[in-house]
Amino acid sequence: MDTFFARNRLSAYLDGDLSAAEAREVEAAIARDAGLRAEIEQMRAAIELLRAEGLVSAPVGFAARVRERVDDEPMRVGWRLWVTQIRPEAVMLAAAALLVVVYVGHRREHPPATIPSSEAVATGGALGGDEGGVDGNQSPAPPAEVQAATPPVDTTEAVASGSTRLNDGVLGNEMPRAQAEAPQSQSLAERLPKRRASAGGVPVEPWQPDWEKEAVEPAPEDMPGEISFYAPAPFRYRVAARDGRALKTLAAIAAELGGELQDSRGRPVAAWSLEEGDSRSVRVAVPAYNAAALAARLREVGEVETIVQKDTLLADPNADVPVQVELLY
Amino acid sequence: MDILFAALGFRSAAALRLGASSTDSELVSRFVAGERAAFDEIVVRYQSRIYSLCLRWLGDPEVAEETAQDVFVAAFRALGAFRGESSFSTWIFRIAVNHCRNVRLHRNRRGYGRHEAIHAPRGDDEELPARQVADEADPGADRGVHQREAGSLVQAALAELEDEHRQVLILRDVEDLAYEEIAEILDLPRGTVKSRIHRARVELANRLARRVRAADVL
């Protein structure tokens, strides 16, 4: 080991932190080199002086003064320590998350009780007006070129489906986001595509923006037979009517229970008679506390099959809930 | 009987009878169980070591005591969270090192400048304190005086070192901690601690030698 390496190991040598072989090499280097010998003696003297200083006793009364200071401190053990370690940011985040959960839960269990009036729908305000923004937000109008490219709509089916969508959207649970964000300057009837047969009899699907597709494509299971209610009501029943007066019977029951019979577009029922082979989809908006009674009394109309019955909506008994009835005769 | 005590997690009956002191971990356990007096024992056990560290690092006895008190208050607040992953002494020394480091930074920012050792003569080109000069002029000065002089020289030389050199020297040669403990306290690799101690000792030895020569000249 040369002097350089030995010099860099003097401290470790004095601490006894070298292997036996290394220590012997350092000793040999020290024996050879007088400068190294002087250096290690100087270092040893410095260490001895430092160690001679040693520990200094704490001032008299030190422990008592510390005790005085900690006497005012709560002992942070167990849950107290856990609480003190929570960061304020985490508390705020948790509070915000809790608020969101509570709000969403509230919205789910207490949907807005208002059902769009027949007048609002009948005047063409279906989704084109204020109701379109379920949360009160007005969506921006589409670009001019989109409006220009949007084909006119004329099918009754589309209008009917639009009104049904409206009801569900107002109820607050199932309105698709795309629909909520759709431009509101047009009614849904205007935005729905034409379903015309081409000259060859093949249906032609006109161009349609993406945000419209979800709004107009009904879920297959929501289209039993020819009856169109695209978005499901929270209570849905299928009734095999006993006679052609079923609609009148149902209207009477609805009136007794504080409700009103409407057609699938939310308008008052116009045609009351049922012919054999007819199928009609109607709605009855009744207070939630009467929803079960209505379901029970449907047996007066005919044989009842329950399709959907979301009991959670009964959490607010005073809220109106729509009951969808599919009458088959 | 001792086996029974040991099985139950107690110190031996003999130890209890003799009033043998608790281990650090026992004191911590008693504190976590709610026994406030256990902390008093911890303070008594570590007060001199922590105070020495603060005094050697900061130089000023008043500042050192205040800092040492802060260390114990911080330990009191955090002791419930001590998980025993390191030894208690390592844990409390780490708190002390951090406090001293912060106090040094704070004092430097506040314009206190470099460390000034209370008993120490100033730099090489400055005069020694009048008392030291008077003692040296007296050929009959007793051994205590020489020891005090030596102490002053060491403290002054220590004060001139860089912080990272001073802290490892205090931990190694004043507190007599092993390389591994120092590495854990400073969160450094063992090899870094070893080389840093070497450089610090070389630096201290050189500064002491210069001071001794200066004192001889006077």
Here the CATH number for the domain that contains residue B87 is 1.10.1740.10
**Which residues have a Cβ under 8 Å from the Cβ of B82 and sit 6 or more positions away?**
B28, B88, B91
Inside any domain, residue A71: no
Q: Which one of B44, B195, B209 has the shortest CB-CB distance to A63?
A: B44
CB A12 to CB B76 under 8 A?
Answer: no
Inside any domain, residue A62: no
Residues B217 and B203 in one domain: yes
Find the domain containing B216 and state its range: 119-218
Per the model's pLDDT, the better-predicted residue between B190 and A130 turns out to be: B190
Interface test with A, best of B154, B180, B182 (most A CBs within 10 A): B154
Inside any domain, residue A319: yes
Residues A43 and A87 in one domain: no
Q: How far is A93 from chain B (nearest CA, A)?
A: 24
Residues B107 and B192 in one domain: no
- According to DSSP, the residues that pair with A263 across neighbouring strands are A282
Task: Name the least confident of A110-124, A259-273, A292-306.
Answer: A110-124
The domain tally of chain A equals 4
Find the domain containing A199 and state its range: 113-228
Amino acid making up residue B45: R
Q: Which one of A11, A42, A70 has the shortest CB-CB distance to B209?
A: A42
Q: How far is B1 from chain A (nearest CA, A)?
A: 33
Inside any domain, residue B15: no
When pLDDT is cut at 50, 70 and 90, the band that residue A283 belongs to is confident
Inside any domain, residue B212: yes
Number of Cβ within a 10 Å radius of residue B155: 21
Q: How far is B2 from chain A (nearest CA, A)?
A: 31
Inside any domain, residue A316: yes
CB B56 to CB A11 under 8 A?
Answer: no
Inside any domain, residue B205: yes
Give residue-wise pLDDT tens across range A32-91.
999 999 999 999 999 998 888 778 899 999 999 999 998 877 776 655 556 656 677 888
Task: Give the full edge-to-edge strand order of the sheet including A235-241.
Answer: A260-263, A279-287, A320-328, A235-241, A302-309
C-alpha R_g of chain A: 41
Give residue-wise pLDDT tens across range B94-125.
999 999 999 988 887 776 655 444 443 333 33
**Which residues have a Cβ under 8 Å from the Cβ of A147 and sit 6 or more positions away?**
A141, A183, A185, A186
The domain tally of chain B equals 2
Above 50 in pLDDT, residue A242? yes
The Cα A241–Cα A230 span in angstroms is 22
The string over B54-64, giving b where at least 16 C-beta atoms fall within 10 Å of a residue's C-beta and e elsewhere, is: bbbbbbbeebb
